[in-house]
Amino acid sequence: MTREATLQRIREALGDKVVDWFDKSEKRSYVEIRPEDVPDATRLVFRELGARFQIATGVDTPSAIEILYHWAFDKVNLLVTIRTKLDRDTPEIASLAGICKGTEWIEREMWELLGITFHDHPDMRHLLLTDEWPEGQYPLRRDFVQPGKEGGEG
């Protein structure tokens, strides 16, 4: 399947689930969908189209907490990023570990660093931070203040 055919197949299969589609270049596409559509989109790119899970990036922005799932189509030199935006007050989404085991650790990381809840994760606990890390403190949130540095930014 060519690069164009791959993108065409994703476009058709997702249909009106696509909130926004942005081709940064011919090798980089960013597709935004709603959180509830992420498992279906994952099955499409991973199971049907054979993409490789690279990693997911969690980003705290003023309006939402974003997750970007980066997928590599190694045969056609194409990277597709599936973007979804979660509510900042209660960020939650289904875990993808049941579809692709490679997502297991990064979901644990996004939970502890950004405070995103992953429903039905098989083994949710701290990955990088200590078990004694205070609850509700998420270092990659914009409003996180490093303990001892309450005086201001920097």
Cα 136 from Cα 154, distance rounded (Å): 21
Interface residue with another protein among 2, 5, 26, 75 (CB under 8 A) is 75
> Which tokens hold the place of 60?
């705290």
57 belongs to the binding site for another protein (CB under 8 A): yes
Q: Which residue has the tokens 């997928």?
A: 71
106 belongs to the binding site for another protein (CB under 8 A): yes
Which residue from 41, 91, 101, 98 is spatially nearest to 67, judged by alpha carbons? 91
Q: How many residues of this chain bind another protein (CB under 8 A)?
A: 33
For residues 12 and 131, which CB has a smaller minimum distance to another protein in the complex?
Answer: 131
Radius of gyration of the chain (CA): 17
Interface residue with another protein among 18, 64, 72, 94 (CB under 8 A) is 72
DSSP state of 36: G
Site residues (vs another protein, CB under 8 A):
24-25, 27-28, 30, 52-55, 57, 59, 68, 70, 72, 74-75, 77, 79, 81, 100-102, 104-106, 126-130, 139-140, 154
